[in-house]
Structure 1
Amino acid sequence: MQQVKGVVARAKGQPVTVETINIPDPGPGEAVVKVQACGVCHTDLHYREGGINDDFPFLLGHEAAGVVESLGEGVTDLAVGDFVVLNWRAVCGSCRACKRGEPWYCFATHNATQKMTLADGTELSPALGIGSFAEKTLVAAGQCTRVDPTARAAAVGLLGCGVMAGLGAAINTGNVTRGKSVAVIGCGGVGMAAIAGSVLAGASTIVAVDIDDAKLEWATRMGATATVNSTQADPVEAIQAATDGHGADVVIDAVGRPETWKQAFYARDLAGTVVLVGVPTPDMKIPEIPLIDVFGRGGALKSSWYGDCLPSRDFPMLVDLYQQGRLDLDAFVTEEIALDEVEAAFTKMHEGSVLRSVVVFS
């Protein structure tokens, strides 16, 4: 066992603190990773606010890249010293989805068996099974995906959650291909990544929708061909106007509210696709829509969980595209911060003044 510093949320709504964390030696199928960088994601704030569950205290952080420091028994596809991006979907290889050749839908993903603890032995709940606002963390070996070791950790670590969710919502779930039209509702980190994914896939028209003009400016820099401030114009009408009156082939809801989902439903073309990647709260309901409209418009209504990604397939490919200059992951890194600045980063997130603050370890 070793001790490191990590960011802990002890109680609902309370400011996070930097505390001493006990990291067990890796057991069978586990790995200890020395974290180099970890993005501050809205999901971490959800944990702090009790919006995920009430299993306090939480060890926050989950968008991370680092170097494998030690391995437990039975791990054969990693080596000490490997540069890895962490993921929260270590696939099992034996469930129904894995056996039918769709491991990105794995129904039995897993995390490390052992628990990290506070110095007094109190067990910690790691955010998304990772807990990487820490100098080191313990994960299941399957949560480590080896990528190009020369890549910038602060950028590629963001594939661990939000950026992958948005890229995957466009490329994997929405099946955006060359020449298709896309609309993205909500231009936070996930929505911005959906725009980047649509550009990467060759979309001809990309309409960005938000209520914040600054975010719409970011969206334009990311590759959006048209923008809509939905406080000033009806987004459905604006998306239709930007697509020759038809509606977009793919509409991605990166907000996850009933009203934005309904906008996405009506802003798509006939036989178009709606992708829900924004995370709703448990009390939200699908808005009332005439069933004849569901039938008459055809197409597909999909949800995208982690961008329907398979880390072993997608992470190395996307890092290679980043290294080639074809995917600008650096654009998502607004600032690099220290471990004790996470609470301030949550405030900036609320203000909408950052895409991602990234904790960088020396």
Structure 2
Amino acid sequence: MPSTVTGVIARSKGAPVELVDVVVPDPGPGEAVVKVQACGVCHTDLHYREGGINDEFPFLLGHEAAGVVEAVGEGVTEVAPGDFVVLNWRAVCGQCRACLKGKPWYCFNTHNATQKMTLTDGTELSPALGIGAFIEKTLVAAGQCTKVDPAAPAAAAGLLGCGVMAGFGAAVNTGGVTRGDSVAVIGCGGVGNAAIAGSVLAGATTVIAVDVDDRKLEWAKGFGATHTVNSRSHDPVEAIRELTGGFGADVVVEAVGRPETYEQAFYARDLAGTVVLVGVPTPDLKVELPMIEVFGRGGALKSSWYGDCLPSRDFPMLVDLYRQGRFDLDGFVSETIGLGDVEAAFEKMHRGDVLRSVVVL
């Protein structure tokens, strides 16, 4: 029988979120129902509420989540009821040209649940990133469930579902940070600080954090940044070069998504260095660079999709590193809140007061 549970929706552009009753269908073929234990409040949820993703209101918000599988539909073999899982928003298909080339982290045909969750009047909801996890239980494609060690607390493990994985993967998977590298990270929110933590874990010896907010730079030190630069008071390109022997960083991760910060990243990298764009730009933004500089500097300009992660490979690994005390997921959790506190969490996010508020159910 379908379940009626409490969830958080954005009914219209810019309107405060609402706590409402949501009807969750029984899982169909290839689907799973997950009892949500915790879900991080990500900036992407705020983008949905403000109409910055699309206009398919009402949205069921929340996507950075962990919980326990309650039921599965026909044909599901990868997870079973009782499994502790982290939800992901890129369930790979296994059949597209990227998957068949052995690069499933680039899957061009990722998928979500076929059925829709609804309001009690039958209005269909658009789940954020195909998940919708500010809710007591949610319906997803079974491939969006990644089984991990249940010893990890849900409030920490759930953050792998989006921001932490995006930042870690931008540095390690996309940027290829390795032993002895110099790394600069521009923008030190949750994603940027995950890139810093990933760079440290991968063996980078110089890790430079750049932001306009001294509070975020202090957080960056906690994740292992060896140097910090406040770009309100110092030219970040000059500072990064000075801290890398005049050359620039081997890898620069741009975690803001603005033309001006991307240009800083471009000029702050060493010759043959790598720029990784993981900050999400709005559709209207454009960047202009002299082609001779693009040619003459060599190296690579990359964008990072979800940290180019493969959830089945990366989530369990990062949970294991967390349990070994080598990757500080707890450090990203600024506060734990209830479902009714999401709107207040958005305000704290606006002010830069938190790395992550986490809804605990």
Q: TM-score, normalised by structure 1?
A: 0.99
Per-residue deviation, residues 286-307 of structure 1 (Å, max 9, x unmatched): 22x2211111110000000100
Residue in structure 1 matched with residue 318 of structure 2 by the alignment: 318
2:113 corresponds in structure 1 to: 112
Aligned to 1:195: 196
Question: Which letter does structure 2 place at the counterpart of 1:88?
Answer: W
Please name the residue that 2:167 is paired with: 166
* Aligned residue number for residue 7 of structure 1: 8
Give the aligned residue type for 2:205: S
2:307 equivalent in structure 1: 307
Taking the aligned partners of 1:290 and 1:254, their CA distance within structure 2 comes to: 22
Correspondence for 1:232: 233
* One-letter amino acid matched to 1:264: A
User: Quick one: distance in 2 between partners of 1:19 and 1:192?
Assistant: 34
- Separation in structure 1 between the aligned mates of residue 79 and residue 309 of structure 2, nearest angstrom: 20
**Structure 1: distance between partners of 2:316 and 2:335:** 24
Residue 355 (structure 2) pairs with residue 352 (structure 1)? no
Question: How much does 1:161 deviate?
Answer: 0.4
Equivalent position SS for 2:292? helix
Show CA shifts across 1:250-275 (max 9, x none).
00000011000000000000000000
For residues 212-249 of structure 1, give each alpha carbon's deviation from its aligned partner in whole angstroms, at most 9, with x where no partner exists. 00110111111000000001000000000110111000
The Cα of 1:312 is off from its aligned counterpart by 0.3
Q: Measure the CA separation in 2 of the matches of 1:51 and 1:59.
A: 15
5 Å matches for 1:263-274? 263-274=264-275
Q: Does 1:43 align with 2:44?
A: yes
Deviation at 1:77, TM superposition (A): 1.6
Tell me which residue corresponds to 1:286.
Answer: 287
Q: Distance in 1 between matches of 2:213 and 2:30?
A: 45
1:176-191 map, 5 Å: 176-191=177-192
Could you say which residue in structure 2 is the equivalent of 1:126? 127
Distance 1:244 1:226 in 2: 14
| Runs of 5+ unmatched residues, structure 2 | none
TM-score, structure 2 normalization: 0.99
Percentage identity across aligned positions?
79
SS state at 1:4 partner: strand
Separation of aligned partners in 2, 1:346 and 1:290: 38
CA distance in 1, matches of 2:338, 2:282: 31
Distance (whole Å) between structure 2 residues aligned to residue 136 and residue 296 of structure 1: 53
Supply the AA of the counterpart residue of 1:295: F
Give aligned pairs, total: 360
Cα RMSD (Å) of the superposition? 0.4
